[in-house]
Amino acid sequence: MPGFLTLLPPLVAILLAFRTKNVLLSLFVGVLTGTFLLSLTSHGFILSFFYAFLGLVDKILASLSDTWNAGVILQCLAIGGLIAVVSKMGGAKAIAESLSKRAKSAKSAQLITWLLGILVFFDDYANSLIVGPIMRPVADKMKISREKLSFIIDATAAPIAGIALISTWVGYEISLIKDGYAQIGQDVNAYGMFVSTIPYRFYNIFILIFIVLTAVLAREFGPMLEAERRARILGKVIADDAKPMVSNEASNIEPKEGIKLSIWNAIVPIGALIVFAFLGFYYSGYTSIMAGEDKELIEAIKNAPLSFNSIREIFGASDASVVLFQSALLASIIAIIMAVSQRIMTVGEAIDTWLEGVKSLVITGAILLLAWSLSGTIKELGTAKYLAGVLSGTLPKFLLPSLIFVLGSVISFATGTSYGTMGILMPLVIPLAHSMSPDANFMTMSIGAVLTGAIFGDHCSPISDTTILSSMGSMCDHLHHVKTQLYYSIVVGVVTVVCGYLPVAIGIPVVVSLLLGVFACFMLVRFVGKPVEEIEIEAEVGLEE
Contact indicator for 451, 173 with CB cutoff of 8 Å: yes
Tell whether pTM > 0.75. Answer: no
- pLDDT of 96 reads 65
Phi, psi of 320 (to 5 degrees): -60, -40
Residue 489 CA to residue 148 CA, distance in Å, equals 13
If DSSP codes are grouped into helix, strand and coil, which group holds residue 261? Answer: coil
Give pLDDT tens digits for 236-285.
999 988 888 764 444 445 666 767 778 898 889 888 888 888 898 889 88
Rg (C-alpha) for the chain, rounded Å, is: 23
Strand pairing class (530-531; 219-220): antiparallel
Q: Would you say how long the chain is, in residues?
A: 545
- pLDDT of 392 reads 56
Phi, psi of 511 (to 5 degrees): -65, -40
Q: Consecutive sets of 10 residues in the chain, 545 residues long: mean pLDDT of each?
A: 79 74 78 89 82 89 84 80 84 73 86 87 73 86 94 92 75 76 78 87 96 95 94 91 67 65 85 86 89 86 87 79 85 93 89 86 76 79 71 71 90 78 77 81 93 91 85 90 94 96 94 97 95 58 42
CA nearest to 459, candidates 480, 425, 482, 475: 482
Q: Is the dihedral angle over the CA atoms 174, 177, 181, 183 positive or is it negative?
A: positive
- pLDDT of 395 reads 66
- pLDDT of 334 reads 95
The alpha carbon of 397 is separated from its chain's Cα centroid by a whole number of angstroms, namely 32
Q: Is 235 left (phi over 0), alpha (psi -120 to 50) or beta?
A: left
The answer for residues whose C-beta is within 8 angstroms of residue 437's C-beta and 6 or more apart is 397, 443
In the DSSP assignment, the letter for residue 1 is -
- pLDDT of 439 reads 86
Please give the helix or strand (H or E) that residue 219 lies within, else none.
strand 219-220
In the DSSP assignment, the letter for residue 390 is H
- pLDDT of 319 reads 78
- pLDDT of 327 reads 87
Residues 126, 132, 133: CA angle, nearest 5 degrees? 100
- pLDDT of 15 reads 77
Q: Which amino acid is at 85?
A: V
Q: Is 90 left (phi over 0), alpha (psi -120 to 50) or beta?
A: left
Q: What is the largest CA-CA distance in the chain?
A: 78
Residue 261 CA to residue 95 CA, distance in Å, equals 9
Helices and strands in the chain: count of H runs, count of E runs: 29, 2
Please give the helix or strand (H or E) that residue 220 lies within, else none.
strand 219-220
- pLDDT of 494 reads 96
